[in-house]
Structure 1
């Protein structure tokens, strides 16, 4: 039996998750486990369910190694668990033909490619840190401003025009709670600047 596992990192990647599920079903998977959770999360309930569901002779199908594992070590540990149950792993997107761990060549290639992917990610993070450090040294890095806070002036202006808070949030594409927080903070700041009444 072919069993699929699909994963995206955040709740914002619905389209990516749907595409994975669609591809897995097209590949012949009779059952697909899917979840939206970071690969570094300690708990991946659907992956645990998939591993528990698999039986000897089954094949676990995934789109790419990084959908299944957080590192080469993690990938090899999962493959070892699958092998202990008599289950193979089939990776769909490896730049050519799908790759299976049923043969020694496939297992070797999978390990090598996972290691390269992990190495590339480490280099990317290192370059990112170097870029941020350089920007800070040059005084041009301020970090990413929170979306809602960056629109505080617009929130206050629209509220002054009598626009309801829910409508403000909708127009500016921010959360209603964020809009209320901006208004509350502005009110508190104004109160702090106003001299107390001598009565």
Structure 2
């Protein structure tokens, strides 16, 4: 059985997300697991795809960077699949198979992808530091104190944090942080 896995980092990447799913189905994947989550977060649908796979199946991804966040992550996924007798197929790397040479090339390409990501993050940090030094980057604007007070009051009145978060358009973590500040 061909099992597909599609992932984008953010919900804003709808076109790419839909394109991956379409490519996987066109490739013959009978079941496609898809999620929109950063590769550094818990990827529940990837775990589900690996758990779902059985000996003789093939896990299919459109690109290597949609599967693994780093070389160690790639090696771990490859090991887990191999232990179950599941093959890995990367659509934009058709020359890859389960040979030792293919796995070495996969690891090298994974290292290049990891390097590119780390360089991009380094440039981003440098750009933020420069913008801060020039007074152009100030971070997220502070919450309006009236809204913060209303959230604190709702929490103190026993309203559920999830409902408060929905009502005021904030995260539950923000509700808890404001409640803690009030205590």
Per the TM superposition, whether the score is higher than 0.5 is: yes
The structure, 1 or 2, with the larger RCO (C-alpha pairs under 8 Å, 6+ apart) is 2
Contact preservation (8 Å) 1:88, 1:100: no
1:40 lines up with 2:26 in the alignment: no
The equivalent residue for 2:57 is 58
Distance 1:26 1:127 in 2: 37
The count of aligned residue pairs is 148
Cα deviation digits, residues 77-128 of structure 1 (max 9, x gap)? 000001111111111124xxx2434122211111101111101111111111
Contact conserved, 1:99 with 1:110, CA < 8 A, in 2?
A: no
Q: TM-score, normalised by structure 1?
A: 0.66
Mapped partners of 2:125, 2:11: distance in 1: 26
**CA distance in structure 2 between the aligned counterparts of 1:117 and 1:69, rounded to whole angstroms:** 9
Task: Report what 1:191 is aligned to.
Answer: none
Q: CA deviation at 1:36?
A: 1.8
- TM score, norm. by length of structure 2: 0.71
Partner of 2:48: 49
- CA drift of 1:144 comes to 6.2
More off after superposition, 136-145 vs 122-131: 136-145
- Runs of at least 5 residues in structure 2 that lack an aligned partner in the other structure: 145-166, 170-183
C-alpha displacement at 1:38, in angstroms? 1.9
| 1:60–1:90 contact (8 Å) kept in structure 2 | yes
Structure 2 counterparts to residues 155-166 of structure 1, below 5 A? none
Deviation digits for residues 39-78 of structure 1, max 9, x if unmatched? 1112x22212211121112111001122112221111100
Measured on the aligned residues, the alpha-carbon RMSD in Å equals 2.4
